[in-house]
Amino acid sequence: MPSSAFSPPDAARFDRARGAFYGLALGDAFGMPTQSLSRADIRQRFGRITQLVDAGPEQPIAPNMRAGSITDDTEQAVLVAQLLVDGQGSIEPREFARRLIEWEAHMKARGSLDLLGPSTRRATQAILDGEDVMLAGRFGTTNGAAMRVTPVGISASIANPEPFVDAVVGSCVVTHNTTLGIASAAAVAAAVSAGIDGASLSQALEAGAQFAERGEQRGFWVAGARIGARLRWAAELTTRVTGDALADYLYEVVGTSVASQESVVAAFALAHDAAHHGTDINTSLATAASLGGDTDTIAAMLGAMLGACAGYAMLPQEPIETVMRVNALDLDPLIRQLLELRASRG
């Protein structure tokens, strides 16, 4: 589906780009208190998440964090956005590795437990140990690249497919240079990019599946279910299963771990459910936050895709204002610069 089929005016494109980046942050904050908890634990502690809530003292990664706080998902997306702006649309691999290492050191100095994910940690440690930066990501199959790829979707259009995939690969190669890592990042980025160019949610999700198939032609091959095929299966699933039954199915059958073929598929399934049934963004993010597992990342990816298609104006305003206030978050300057990159690429 060429994005040239959609030509929103600049104001609408900016609104959708804001929706994507702030939607990511909002989803991240929704899932922050429940990340790494089981579905049963979430029910016991919170019942069902319906709004932004504080993390309790027993939260294993983000103990006692305030309601509305973001996690590594948003912080690393900001890092990618800054790299894209600094590199005029390209990400220099060694600089990316250096900033990831600096970011984790800063988080440790703050006493945070919200550090690099397993694939990213393995790759950055390999680089510190002398590994070639272009080989360090050859084992990365988790969702770390997909969670932070939204700025690529803002800065590049799927109307130019090969340069678009190149841009996605540039954000993956250091830590997730595999068929699974790149395919999952390409899926999220393409859904965001299509949404910004005016696609409906259903159209954007189809673009995500198409570009997952393109993305899996890049990187080191690893065994695992194909992302594109699983995304199409998830789309069909949501025509038959919805609501709490879908959430249970995602947790019990699809999976909600950091594995790309679980969490990315779960996020797309919830987005398809919203497209089929007109579910509002707050409810969709609350469902993601209540799933169990890697809830902050699932909700962050979901928020980015929903926000890109609906626009900032359709995000729940009180929660997003809370996220902006609690984190002193102002993404507008970065969003404008990313859209300037998009325009310069034609």
7 in a domain, yes or no? no
Looking at residue 124, its pLDDT comes to 81
Residue 273 included in any domain:
yes
Task: Tell me: is residue 178 an annotated ligand-binding position.
Answer: no
Phi-psi region of 68 (alpha: psi -120 to 50; beta: other; left: phi over 0): left
297 is in an annotated binding site: yes
pLDDT at 142: 95
Residue 159 within any structural domain of the chain: yes
| Residue 22 within a domain | no
Domain assignment present for residue 24? The answer is no
Could you tell me the two tokens for 191?
A: 């859904």
Q: Could you tell me which residues come within 8 angstroms of residue 200 by beta carbon, excluding any fewer than 6 positions away?
A: 275, 309
332 a known binding residue?
no
Per-residue pLDDT of 235-257, as tens digits, reads: 999 999 999 999 999 999 999 99
pLDDT higher than 90, residue 180: yes
Q: What is the DSSP string of 81-120?
A: HHHHHHTTT---HHHHHHHHHHHHHHHHHTT-S----HHH
Query: What CATH number should be reported for the domain holding residue 123?
Result: 1.10.4080.10
Annotated binding-site residue? 72: yes
Cα–Cα distance for residue pair 25/85, rounded to 1 Å: 19
Determine, yes or no, domain membership for 308: yes
| Residue 244 is labelled as binding a ligand | no
Q: How confident is the model at residue 94 (pLDDT cuts 50, 70, 90)?
A: confident
Q: CB under 8 Å to 25, separation ≥6 — which residues? A: 70, 74, 300, 303, 320, 323, 327, 329, 331
Task: Dig out the tokens for 257 from the structure.
Answer: 């771990």
Determine, yes or no, domain membership for 95: yes
User: How far is residue 303's CA from residue 250's CA, in Å, rounded to a whole number?
Assistant: 17
- Is 330 annotated as a binding-site member? no
Render pLDDT for 252-303 as a digit per residue (tens, 0 to 9): 999 999 999 999 999 999 999 999 999 999 999 999 999 999 999 999 999 9
φ and ψ at 40, to 5 degrees?
-65, -40
13 within a domain of the structure (yes/no)? no
**Structural domain total, the chain:** 1
Determine the structural domain holding residue 111 and report its residue range.
Answer: 31-341
